[in-house]
Chain A
Amino acid sequence: MKSSVPEIGRSLRRADGPSKVTGREKYAADHYGEGLLWAGVRRAGIPHGRILSVDTAEAADLPGVVAVLTGGDVPGTNRQGIVHKDQPVLCREKVRHCGDAVALVLAGDRETLAKALSLVRVRMEPLPGVFGIDDALAPGAPLVHEEWSGGNVLLRATIRNGEAEQALEACPVVVEGTFEVPPQAHAFLETENGVAWQEEDGTVVLVVSTQAPFRDKWEVSHALGLPWDRIRVVGPVLGGGFGGKDGATVQCLLALAALHAGGRRVKMWWDREESFLAGYKRHGARLHYRLGAREDGTLHALRCRLFYDTGAYAHLGGEVMALGMEHAGGPYRIPHTLIEGWCVYTNHPVAGAMRGFGVAQVSFAAERMMDLLAEKLGMDPLELRKKNALRQGDRNCAGVTLTASTGILECLERIGTHPLWVDREKWKSQAGPFKKRGVGLAAVWNAMGYGRGLPDSALAKIELTPEGRLRLYSGVSDMGQGNATAFVQIAGHLLSQEDETIELIQPDTARTLPSGSSAAGRTTYTYGNALIPACEELRRRIVGRAALMLLVDTLDDLELLPGRVRHPASGREVPLSVLAATMTEHERVCISQFLMPVVREVPGTGKEFRIGFPHLFFAHAAHLARIEVDELTGTIEVKDWLAATEAGRVLNPQGFEQQVQGAVAQGIGYGTLEEVKLREGRILTPDFAAYILPGSLDVPEIISLVEEVEEPTGPYGMKGVGEVGANGPLPAIANALADGCGISMTRAPLTAEGVLEALRRKRTPGAGETS
């Protein structure tokens, strides 16, 4: 794969590959500077308490300390939050989780900073805490936000279609269950960080590891009362994000620090423990399900109650739950649904966006329900899924008629013909002594885009530089998923230039244009759709100028080639460098906007969702897990993985496979290892010694099958593929466990201890529910 004119549908080497593989790439964390100051945060350390006093004198007197700031020093509203502005930059009256920020210190070096942080004297009166969903909803529970009208309930919502309760009564076969999933940490390797400074004209510049540089501007402006046009956010490539850098982490703190740094650069870089303590998490949740079917296996009614623990602040809690509710029924036709949701405040770490945004949680419950139903009906679990799989034109569980591409049935059919599925009984029978083998399926989906109520827009900008090269201005962060490479692929393809000659500008609010957040599987779809017309226009201008220069009468007679335009009939050429030099900036720059289409026929339910409901587009996947369980230790070894994925057409097969494999690995972590353990609001898993991520020995070889179903609105027919793969592993492994060992686990992750306990209960006659 040498530099070449990219083709759509063919693998292209990552645009950021060479700089990353040689260590030259500059992430936010790699920015330092002369006279650098270090900023750090004194955190609450208790889950709920009233601040009585913050004594900064001793810390401020320490030589080398530049400033010690508290809530009273925050200009502006001192409030951050994407939808609800309920999160202080620095707490004034009370703290609501252990990671809440109480004081901000600036010092000349890290040692002084650490010492000064320990010298800030914070006196707090502990308050009774809210340590989970039941606590939050208990009558007379302590309030996390006294001023919030809903008590501890951030959002209560209902999706209702048909008459689920009556329909369930009429179902000959009904299964039910309650499932629990813990918070998960994003655990990106580059922890939250940035560098900031104030320029002479007052502009505050932030170089920050962020998924949403343009929204960050609004956050900082609102929280600190700074004029919007006096804030510049530069967003280099990220060392991972997965949703955890979608929203304010260091931004407002750093901007505040910059206001007190006298023009010097200030760096804040959370260490791993601080990232666990103060960073966002995937929502822990409890899910109650009842699913009913007819005797032939046709799904008829679903009733579920979903509880999401959003922690101390709203962040995207309501929107995460909305997506969970929208996907609660899985990718199936269910005529009668009643889906209720409660998103509650607690004194837990703040939960927010994470790959599979609300959907990873419900996928566990929905897909266990399907296997339990298959068992009860005596049906093959694959056949049950195929029988009920959504097709284009069907109504989904949220009552939305699917008008866009819908490929779940195709994915299931691919799984069904694969040897890993076909030969499963033979494979299972070959398990060694004290081993049990099981095979499990999961059918999953994930919406793309923001959904109704929040325009999903991108503004693409492409330039022919005066030197005759392409410069692409990306307004949407690349956190590692490779969207920037897709942009290079599209631009190179449309403008016939080699990929390595294209200069890529990463998001910078002063240079690139607002294109939304790197989230919701939307980046390539939305920005790509904006980029295509911009490139087509630039192509017309380049060829048009060449026509003038070569005295050719029609544009059709000219060929745009790498570095030049050619008139094949005469063999004459004009280099782009010569051509570009004759054009003004207005001619050399093309900009275009795209707005993602939304659902037109909005169902008359889910009215509580102000934004983010419903969605028009979904990616789909069917996963197959083959596992081996050690009956003596309870350890699950994931032996084989098959993922059949439909996300429209594929632009870059290698990039597509990267997303599938990475999502499966994260999902295996969620399924078998990962849990942010909490006791009374305190994190018991503060580092990678206690919070176990899947390593190279935990993730099997993953076979990725691509099921292409054209999405006509997508750039070259594509949809976003980043999230859907994260939703399959937990349910597929849980189903494999049930298949192999006959145990029905209802609490994730499926740890060795949990499996062993479930096996023990199964052996003990009269034992109760497994957990």
Chain B
Amino acid sequence: MIIGFTLNGKKTTVDTRPDRRVVDVLREDFGLTGVKEGCGTGECGACTVLVDGEPRLGCLMLAVQMEGRDLVTIEGLAPEGGLHPLQEAFLECGAVQCGFCTPGMVLAGSALLKRKVSPGRAEIREAISGHLCRCTGYQKIVDAVETAAARGGKKEKTE
């Protein structure tokens, strides 16, 4: 069936079986391999995409559920060639090691920062608790979200 949705800011359609997983459609039909698969059972968070601004798991969502929705993957978080402030902070704070959890972590963190201007470290840990990272021990990821939040706050004050 033909499914219409918005993907990284552009309206698009895909002709596919309705019961394919979103992670497969995005990776295989759209080449958006920044959507990672780590477990396929909703345990690791690597396949996170933003659906209408909320983090959702691409491995637990079927193609038909994209109909009419607004999807953002890591590739579309920032304008082409640019970086989202949280991506900047990930680089600066050393929050990236193998990088396989990174897209999901960044998307989850960006959603948190939309909800909350300056979350505390405990809140940040809570917000990413559905995401597994095997490399970092999480600390630098928390640092990055905190850093981006601090910058966002500063920007707001000066505006």
A positions within 8 Å CB-CB of B:
1, 11, 13-14, 16-18, 20-27, 29-30, 32, 186-191, 237-242, 271-272, 479-482, 654-655, 657-658, 661-662, 664-666, 687-689, 693, 695-697, 699, 701-702
Contacts and interface: CB of A to CB of B under 8 A. Distances in A.
A661 B91 contact: no
A30 B31 CA distance: 9
Q: Which of B37, B99, B132, B133 has the most CB of A within 10 A?
A: B99
Contact of A14 (B46, B91, B141, B142): B91
A17 B39 contact: no
B3 interface: no
Nearest to A242: B134
Contacts of B103: 23
Nearest to A14: B96
Q: Is chain A's interface secondary structure helix, strand, loop, or mixed overall?
A: loop
B83 A21 contact: yes
A187 B28 CA distance: 24
A186 B92 CA distance: 27
Contact of A654 (B37, B94, B126): B94
Given A23-B34, A666-B134, A240 B125 contact: no
A674 to B, nearest CB: 11
A665 B137 contact: yes
Contacts of A666: 134
Contact of A240 (B28, B128, B135, B142): B135
A238 B94 CA distance: 17
A689 B38 CA distance: 13
Contacts of A688: 39, 41, 43-44, 132
A240 B78 contact: no
A191 B73 CA distance: 21
Contacts of B128: 696
B13 interface: no
B96 A687 contact: no
B96 A20 contact: yes
B139 A702 contact: yes
B5 interface: no
A697 to B, nearest CB: 5
Contact of B98 (A26, A30, A191, A240): A240
B75 A687 contact: no
A190 B97 contact: no
A190 B41 contact: no
Contacts of B28: 32
B111 interface: no
A646 B38 CA distance: 33
Q: Is chain B's interface secondary structure helix, strand, loop, or mixed overall?
A: loop
Nearest to A664: B137
Contacts of A696: 125-126, 128-129, 131, 133, 138, 141-142
Contacts of A272: 38-41
Contact of B74 (A23, A189, A664): A23
Given A29-B36, A688-B41, 7 more contacts: A14-B94, A16-B96, A22-B83, A23-B73, A190-B98, A271-B40, A662-B97
Contacts of B97: 480-482, 658, 662
Contacts of A30: 27, 33
Contacts of B139: 661, 699, 701-702
Contacts of B147: none
B118 interface: no
Contacts of B133: 189, 696
A220 to B, nearest CB: 25
Contacts of A27: 33, 100
A3 B96 CA distance: 17
A480 B39 CA distance: 19
Contacts of A693: 132, 134
A271 B41 CA distance: 10
Nearest to B104: A189
Interface in B7-61: 27-28, 32-41, 43-44, 46
Given A20-B102, A26-B33, A482-B97, A687 B43 contact: yes
Given A189-B38, A189-B98, A697-B129, A21 B90 contact: yes
A499 to B, nearest CB: 12
B66 interface: no
A11 B125 CA distance: 25
B36 A190 contact: yes
B151 interface: no
A189 B96 contact: no
B6 interface: no
17 contacts: A16-B99, A18-B83, A22-B75, A22-B87, A27-B100, A29-B33, A30-B33, A187-B134, A189-B132, A239-B38, A480-B97, A480-B98, A480-B99, A658-B97, A658-B136, A665-B136, A665-B138
A652 to B, nearest CB: 9
A239 B33 contact: no
Contacts of A13: 91-92, 94
